[in-house]
């Protein structure tokens, strides 16, 4: 098992109350980081996770709807008042809404696109905006964005999701170029299906076994496996990985 050390680092993880975000929080806390998680509505779950991370006062949870730009700005400032520095930003919060083009009315179609892009792409860009300025001022940092294999293979039942993640990839690579001179690395982790609450209905439904067979490992990823990929990129000494996209899909989709 890879051993990580983030002593003295403060990590901000959006969508940290469950799934990949929760596993990232546990990994970073176990590697001696100060961990800040955000949640949209699951306050009780987020506060429980903070307590489980140990060392009262070292870790914290903040309510944040990443689709609301003014809320991002306010919460960012509150976190800096408490911690003074954010060294690593993990943009994990996202939504996955079904909207099949031939089965969805126009109002629902518009809503799905607006909400998905606002959360999965524009919200991430706004967090990167504040992170870039802060990290430049303090001499560097790491930004890790959680994407999806759907950005490459398509999402026919969730087209806004696939488009948002493809846009996230392109934005991340553009920012990697722009921010490299300031010692700020930007990278992407692109999982396939992961054993999370968001994927639960698919994995436990009639399509579950077919989904697992997409990988020659005959399973989907665990949140911990994705968290370890995040930690690799966030570690010191991996700066030349900036602009890279790491697939964590168990060879279920191979891209050239």
Both tokens of 191, joined, read 């999982």
Closest CA to 12 of 88, 110, 116, 69: 88
Q: For residues 74 and 96, give the distance between their C-alpha atoms in angstroms, rounded to a whole number.
A: 26
Judge contact between 35 and 86, C-beta under 8 A: no
Q: Please tell me the number of Cα atoms within 13 Å of 31 on its side-chain side.
A: 22
Paired residues of 189 in beta bridges: 146, 246
CA 252, 255, 256 angle in degrees (round to 5)?
150
Judge contact between 9 and 87, C-beta under 8 A: yes
Please report the sign of the dihedral spanned by the C-alpha atoms of residue 63, residue 190, residue 30, residue 90: negative
- 39, 83, 161, 202: which one is catalytic? 161
Whether 161 is catalytic: yes
Helix and strand element counts for the chain (H, E): 10, 7
Q: For residues 157 and 14, give the distance between their C-alpha atoms in angstroms, rounded to a whole number.
A: 25
- H or E element, residue 25: helix 19-30
How far, CA to CA in Å, does 154 sit from each of 94, 113, 162, 164, 193? Answer: 17, 15, 6, 11, 13
Catalytic residues: 161
């Amino acid at each position: 098992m890879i051993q990580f050390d983030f002593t003295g680092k403060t990590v901000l993880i959006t969508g940290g109350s469950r799934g990949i975000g929760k596993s990232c929080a546990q990994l970073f806390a176990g590697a001696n980081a100060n961990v800040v998680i955000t949640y949209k509505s699951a306050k009780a779950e987020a506060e429980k996770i903070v307590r489980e991370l140990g060392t009262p006062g070292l870790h914290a949870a903040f309510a944040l709807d990443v689709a609301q730009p003014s809320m991002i700005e306010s919460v960012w400032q509150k976190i800096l008042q408490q911690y003074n520095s954010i060294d690593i930003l993990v943009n994990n919060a996202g939504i996955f809404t079904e909207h099949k083009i031939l089965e969805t009315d126009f109002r629902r179609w518009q809503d799905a696109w607006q909400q998905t892009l606002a959360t999965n792409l524009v919200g991430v860009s706004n967090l990167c905006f504040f992170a870039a300025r802060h990290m430049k001022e303090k001499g560097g940092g790491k930004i890790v964005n959680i994407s999806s294999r759907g950005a490459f293979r398509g999402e026919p039942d969730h087209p806004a999701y696939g488009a948002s993640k493809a846009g996230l990839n392109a934005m991340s690579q553009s920012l990697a170029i722009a921010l490299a001179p300031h010692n700020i690395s930007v990278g992407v982790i692109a999982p396939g299906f992961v054993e999370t609450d968001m994927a639960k209905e698919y994995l436990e439904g009639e399509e579950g076994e077919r989904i697992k067979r997409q990988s020659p490992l005959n399973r989907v990823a665990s949140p911990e496996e994705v968290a370890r990929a995040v930690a690799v990129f966030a570690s010191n000494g991996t700066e030349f990985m900036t602009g890279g996209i790491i697939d964590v899909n168990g060879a279920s989709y191979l891209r050239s």
